[in-house]
Amino acid sequence: MNREYHKWYSHALGRDMEFLVYGHAGAPLLVFPTSMGRFYQYEDFGMIQTFSQRIESGQYQVFCVDSVDEESWYNKGVPPSQRARRHSQYDQYVASEFVPYIRARNHESQLTTTGCSFGGYQCINFALRHPDQVTGSVSMGGGFDMDQFVDGFHDDDVYFNSPFQYLPNLCDPWYRDRIRHQRLVLATGEVDICRADNERLSGVMSAKGIPHHLDVWGDGTGHDWPWWKQMLLKYF
């Protein structure tokens, strides 16, 4: 399997960012790590190995982006406004630097984002914010309630990165029409700690007429890598 490590300076973030690329061709898949996870997490936890046949056969090319969670939502050492602002800078990095790199490497028309747990939030939020760049998103065990990170604080950076806040008010036809053409999957387990968030977000999407698939797995499915491996093979 082709495996490439890259590191370059991000102007949006003001620091170096690292990432990994797996595969030589196929539909591009942009992977966000879990809470405070790194770009090598998908490999470390066996997701790349689980998906290896589809990567090696040229069905998919996987791009694993790094996170800045420790500098943004999880950084309790700075005010909530700075946490949210840092995430907005991260969003800018992915949209204006990382996705263009993917497009330069891979000329397939589609681009799907995915992630597990907090990466599930990242992939859905990015897809909804940038429907001109992303054609689909598959969240596995995602948690979407951003109020837990901001201690009651609210501003535009918080609002526009909180699907529970901006989606109910979405009326811009440019966004609405593009989002309705995306393939959106909210996968969660029967006893997943984030199941309620997925069901709540599904309700918001349904109320806005946004096509999506809420898939609640049975048989005691929880919030961990063994189930996410199975989900990866089901949805891709």
For 167-203, give one letter per residue: b (16+ CB within 10 A) or e.
beebeeeebeebbeebbbbbbbbeebebbebbeebbe
pLDDT at 219: 94
With a pLDDT cut of 70, the percent of the chain lying above it is: 100
If you average pLDDT over residues 49-67, what whole number do you get?
98
pLDDT at 62: 98
Distances (CA, A) of 4 to 7, 19, 213: 10, 8, 33
Band (182; pLDDT cuts 50, 70, 90) = very high
pLDDT at 147: 95
Any idea of the CA torsion for 68, 15, 23, 40, to the nearest 10 degrees? -40
Backbone angles phi, psi at 107, to 5 degrees: -100, 15
* Residue 214 per-residue DSSP state: E
User: Is residue 84 classed exposed, middle or buried when 0-12, 13-18 and 19+ CB atoms within 10 A define those classes?
Assistant: buried
pLDDT at 188: 98
Extract long-range pairs of 38-42: CB within 8 Å, 24+ residues apart.
38/66, 38/67, 39/64, 39/65, 39/66, 39/67, 40/64
pTM over 0.95: yes
- Reported as a single tens digit per residue, the pLDDT across 84-139 is 999 999 999 999 999 999 999 999 999 999 999 999 999 999 999 999 999 999 99
If you average pLDDT over residues 25-46, what whole number do you get?
98
* Residue 26 per-residue DSSP state: S
If you average pLDDT over residues 208-234, what whole number do you get?
97
pLDDT at 168: 97
- Rounded-to-integer distance, Cα 6 and Cα 171, Å: 39
If you average pLDDT over residues 63-67, what whole number do you get?
98
With a pLDDT cut of 90, the percent of the chain lying above it is: 100
Task: Give the chain's mean pLDDT.
Answer: 97
- Reported as a single tens digit per residue, the pLDDT across 140-169 is 999 999 999 999 999 999 999 999 999 999
Phi-psi region of 222 (alpha: psi -120 to 50; beta: other; left: phi over 0): beta
Task: Please state which CATH class domain 3-235 belongs to.
Answer: alpha beta
pLDDT at 151: 94
Type of residue numbered 1: M
Type of residue numbered 101: Y
Band (5; pLDDT cuts 50, 70, 90) = very high
pLDDT at 206: 98
pLDDT at 221: 96
Give the β-pairing of 27-32 and 15-22: unpaired
pLDDT at 229: 98
